[in-house]
A and B are shown apart, each in its own frame.
Chain A
Amino acid sequence: MAVNVANEGLNSCAGCEIAILNLGETLLDLLPRINFVHIPVLMDHKHFGQLGDKKHLDIPKATVGLLSGGIKNEEHLEVALEMRKKCDILIALGTCATHGGIPALLNSFTNEEMFDQYYSTESTDPGAKVPTKGVPPLLDRCYALDEHIKVDIYLPGCPPHPDLIGAAILALLDGETPELPFKSVCDTCPTKRLGKGAVTDIKRAVESPQFDPEKPIDDMRCLLEQGYLCMGPVTRAGCAGANGEAPRCIVARVPCRGCYGPVKQKGNQLLDMLNALASNGIDLSKLPDRDSLLRFSGAHNRLVVKQGKNIRR
């Protein structure tokens, strides 16, 4: 018997849903065992009845709920609560759902500051006002799902690697609880580590690290040891997939930026990274911007506004 599955995307970009599709034929082969009951990106089941005449938002009951995106407006919250109510097992899909993701960078600013900027750009007609009709009011900040609802399974990644999504779905279909190991990106990274070098500066990503393109990744020296701010040590592994490849950013020869969130669900990428840098003797005053270390995990009160000034915890 097929398992009912529901999906919604909240304060998100649809990248997680595309990652599901990137399972390709694996997904096709899983289809006989999956019955999608609600997935707006692919299917026309509506919130207020198919004729749009119902009063209350309704999502069908499902065994598994895949919920992507954080919670930033009242509609997101309503949908998240309904998903929680109707799904036996709720998966927080992607780093926006698990830690706020990129959109939680807005937590360093007030909504007023955002609206002031957005409605007064150079191309915007003067006198613009904040819309009020038929648009969901914003919440004070962008929340990870577990700040409002209970999450059963965390599947971070921006987006999560299709291998992880596939493995999680398979495990659930077989009645098991999928688990992503608490390893760091460095644990899956083949670059050469020679111990800390003479680097005391942080290099910005405006020049190429040293590597021989003719040679495999494991011939390249660790990017952190080369002086680049690589977030590998404080970021959860997973992007390399299940087939023993290198972390995705390392394949492109660029440093990791932390898109799977902290290694432990409740970890703090900013504090952990500052510690890692300090213990390597790196001058922290050279960091151009500290908020960027929380660019994927700014929910859970990590990035906050206080009296118009950005502070971090």
Chain B
Amino acid sequence: MGRTINIQPLSRIEGHASIEIKLDDAGNVADAITHFTSMRGFEKFVEGKPAEEVTRIVTRICGICPWHHHMSSVKAVDACFGAEVAPTGSLLRECMQNMAHIHDKILHFYFLAAPDFVLGPDADYSVRNVIGIANAAPDLARQVIRMRQKGQMMMEKFAGKVIHPIAGVPGGFSKPMDEGQRKEMIADTEELLEFAKFSMKHAKEEIFPKYLDLVTTLGTITTGFIGTVDEHGSLNFYDGKLRLMKPDGSFDDFATEEYLDHIAERTMDISYGKFPYAKAWNEGFSMDLDAPKGIYRANCLARINCCDQISTPLAQKELEEFRSKFGRPAQHTLLYHWARLIELVYACEKTLELLNNPAITGKETRYTVAPKAGRGVAHVEAPRGTLIHDYTTDENGCIKTANLIVGTTHNLAPISMSVKQAAKMLIKDGHVDETILNKIEMSVRAYDP
């Protein structure tokens, strides 16, 4: 056995992971293993806590997408308590949940992923980052930093706290939106939509064409996909049925409550994180690159593949162009970036649609709920994928058991496979350099884990 290369920590990602590449005597890749090393125990320590408090605890699973945990959790607690949700509260939740996608996509595309494309995968690590972009393209950088901050601050101003939110409550939303706030948020979101349109155009003209070779090869694997669609098959981030698509594009739709019939999680000795797979396909689980079994992917590319259409006009136009170029389902891993920008456009359009609904400024945003025993399974689409919270409560309305399958978890097997594919493609005869190792990480970064 030859040498081992440790890429640690994986960088410009949110979570904690490392890659171990084992070379054989000839210097070719014998194996490439991705270790997911975070283990914090949320499902255990929420036990015994009042369920309405858990909606304010699980946010800490992710400081980048806390709104999505907050929303999925609030919906699950509604279900445990059999609570009716005030219609205005529901609109406010959906509005915030879509808004929270906006800053997230700007963050990922420009701060985390773009350095590889703007400065190049072979740029020195000391400049291949958002600060390097700030020096190379100061006007663009200032605009990006302003837009991302705007996406966050408009939420903070209205909903109190943007990182680790608190305004979602069982039965609705903690406070109403007044007309002044609504108008201000519309103006801000319109500005963000213009920026989203610019980003889409900029990427299609200046970025993707330059890297077409990489986009169509790096980390590419063939898998199924999971996403959420409404009753018409349109993309939805907040609510709807789950759609599990096979690699051939055929799919099954099911209600969240039935997730256990469709998905199971495999454990492996190399990772704290579990590896979900499509149990319903009855083919087991295998990450074999040539004959994967049960593997599906989540996050933007998956949602873009799963939906029949998008209900907002500009994003729908982008979807049509994307499909005409790459088909359905599109499999190339780096297309996640393209799909992410389509979703950025959608998130802005959808937020505006919700803000323009006059019912959103209704005064009654929250119904009183009564803690009780029950079971609640709910999900939303977090930026990183389908986010399932499943709680059982006791007679005091405290958590008895919790099961969470979070966005990136769905992608742990695909990420591991993309890493192996990239390593095998790029490392030959013992030749390894920083650019090669960074390109392997690019295959991870596409998933925005």
Contact = CB atoms under 8 A, between A and B. Distances in A.
Given A252-B167, A289-B398, A123 B14 contact: no
Interface string A289-305: 10110010000000000
A263 B21 CA distance: 47
B145 interface: yes
A253 B131 CA distance: 38
Contacts of B3: 53
B246 interface: no
A72 B40 contact: yes
A96 to B, nearest CB: 8
Contacts of A45: 11, 125-126
Interface residues of B, number: 109
Contacts, number: 282
Interface in A1-52: 9, 11-19, 21-22, 24-25, 27-28, 31, 36, 40-48, 50-52
B200 interface: no
B112 to A, nearest CB: 8
A22 B164 CA distance: 14
B40 A135 contact: no
B105 to A, nearest CB: 14
Contact of B264 (A15, A123, A288): A123
B148 to A, nearest CB: 7
B166 interface: yes
Interface stretch (A81-89, A109-117, A178-186, A271-279): A109-117
B387 interface: no
B403 interface: yes
B33 interface: yes
Nearest to B47: A117
B178 A42 contact: no
Contacts of B47: 117
Interface stretch (A125-133, A147-155, A189-197): A125-133
A217 to B, nearest CB: 10
Contact of A125 (B39, B162, B167, B266): B266
A174 interface: no
B291 interface: no
B57 A135 contact: no
B396 to A, nearest CB: 6
Contact of A44 (B46, B56, B125, B369): B125
Nearest to B50: A288
Interface string B256-270: 000110011111111
A78 B276 CA distance: 31
A93 to B, nearest CB: 12
B125 A18 contact: no
A108 interface: yes
Contact of A18 (B61, B63, B265, B396): B63
Contact of A289 (B50, B126, B369, B403): B50
B125 A50 contact: yes
B63 A118 contact: no
B145 A28 contact: yes
Contacts of A52: 5-8, 21, 437
Contacts of A206: 52, 81, 169-171, 368-371, 397
Interface stretch (B152-160, B189-197, B311-319): B152-160
Nearest to B175: A253
A123 B405 contact: yes
A109 B164 contact: no
Most chain B CB within a 10 A radius of its CB, from A17, A27, A114 = A114
A135 B35 contact: yes
B432 A51 contact: yes
B158 to A, nearest CB: 9
A105 interface: yes
Interface in B132-172: 134, 141-142, 145-146, 148-149, 152-153, 156, 159-167, 169-171
A12 to B, nearest CB: 7
A158 interface: yes
Interface in A201-245: 204-208, 213-214, 239
A75 interface: yes
Nearest to A95: B60
25 contacts: A13-B62, A13-B64, A14-B62, A15-B64, A17-B63, A22-B163, A36-B129, A46-B7, A50-B125, A73-B39, A103-B40, A103-B41, A103-B45, A117-B47, A121-B401, A123-B265, A123-B403, A123-B405, A128-B267, A133-B269, A135-B272, A205-B53, A213-B363, A252-B159, A252-B167
Interface of B: 3, 5-14, 16, 18, 20-21, 33, 35-37, 39-41, 43-50, 52-53, 56-57, 60-64, 66, 81, 107, 111-112, 125-126, 128-131, 134, 141-142, 145-146, 148-149, 152-153, 156, 159-167, 169-171, 174-176, 178, 259-260, 263-272, 274, 276, 363, 366, 368-371, 390, 396-398, 401, 403, 405, 432-434, 437-438, 441
Interface of A: 9, 11-19, 21-22, 24-25, 27-28, 31, 36, 40-48, 50-53, 72-73, 75, 101-103, 105-106, 108-109, 113-114, 117-119, 121-125, 128-129, 131-136, 138, 158-159, 204-208, 213-214, 239, 248-254, 257, 259, 288-289, 291-292, 295
